[in-house]
Amino acid sequence: MISDKDEKIQIMYGIKGEKKLTEKILSHLAGYKGSEPVRIGNAAYRQKQNDIYGVLMDMIYKQFMLFENSIEITESLWTLIRSIIRTVAKNWYKPDRGIWEFRAMPRHFTFSKVLCWAAIDRGIKIASLLKQDKYLHEWSVLREKIKKNILKHAWNDKIKAFTQYYGSDDLDASNLLIESYGFIKADDKKYVGTVKATYKKLCRNGLMYRYKNKDDFGLPSSSFTVCTFWLIIALHKTGQKQKAEILFNDLLSYSNHLGLFSEDIDFETKRLLGNFPQAYSHIALIETAIYLNEGNIDDEHEILEAIQ
């Protein structure tokens, strides 16, 4: 689902492209093993999540890098790209709800800021590919401005890590991804410190919390499967290869008899919890398996061939 020119891009749509996903609680249902409330719809459709622009722009960049595009597709994508860049320029410095969709906690989330940086970065790269040179200076200035802002406000020198949001002491597993988006190098002391602190704070029994601070539903009590895969890659990239491989093999053993994963895993019993099967978990599984098998695959064509 692609929004019209300059129209707000929602973080989700209905299966038929519906834009209004009003959330309702079905009080007459108890839920699986009493896991009420049971909801339909999703109130998060109205949220501002600035990280979506970076994800989308990264996919568009891969489209240009991996495939041949017709003139019509190129023109359509270029129009969309400029619209996204304009949107990011107007919104990157504003607080949002973050990747984890906090309902009552708008903040300057670090991951959202980094993904805004990534959106501009990919826009610059695409503009270079398409020889749209007149945009390069303006967008490069914006990219540098966002990066300086992140380095100044997201880094916590007390705990030697990038934190969940500006001014916070809390850690967030999503910040393990900032290297993969090209914001920072794997051997940069700030990234190494973030991986080390995140592993120490958020890893329990070989599984990862998304974060440990209180959210709209209380304190987190289970691991988030995709985050453990993120940790494994981050550990491997920062030189802790043996630890990464051990964690990966252990994690594989927690799948069901078909090798499928859920959204969450219980820290103690390793019982599968939450949405099942969870696409997000399996995308990360594939990415991690490829990475550990091949090392750091830089060639996007190799990745595509490996998945196929």
For residue 155, which phi and psi values (nearest 5 degrees)?
Answer: -80, 130
Q: Both 41 and 72 in a single domain?
A: no
DSSP-assigned states of every residue in 262-296: -SEE-TTT--EESSSS-HHHHHHHHHHHHHHHHSS
% of the chain surpassing 70 pLDDT:
86
Q: Both 69 and 80 in a single domain?
A: yes
Q: Both 254 and 114 in a single domain?
A: no
Query: What's the rounded mean pLDDT across residues 25-46?
Result: 70
pLDDT in tens, 252-297: 999 999 999 999 899 999 998 887 888 889 999 999 999 998 754 4
Query: What's the rounded mean pLDDT across residues 126-138?
Result: 95
Domain range for residue 1? 1-46
Q: Both 167 and 292 in a single domain?
A: yes
Q: Both 160 and 207 in a single domain?
A: yes
- Residue 46 confidence (pLDDT) above 70: no
The count of structural domains within the chain is: 3
pLDDT in tens, 208-256: 999 998 877 678 788 999 999 999 999 999 999 999 999 999 999 999 9
Query: What's the rounded mean pLDDT across residues 62-83?
Result: 91
Q: Both 78 and 31 in a single domain?
A: no
Token pair, residue 118, equals 């990534």
Question: Comparing 7 with 233, which gets the higher pLDDT?
Answer: 233
- Burial string for 139-163 (b: 16+ CB within 10 Å, else e) reads beebbeebbebbeeebbbeebebbb
Q: Rounded to an integer, what distance in angstroms lies between the CA atom of residue 179 and that of residue 240?
A: 16
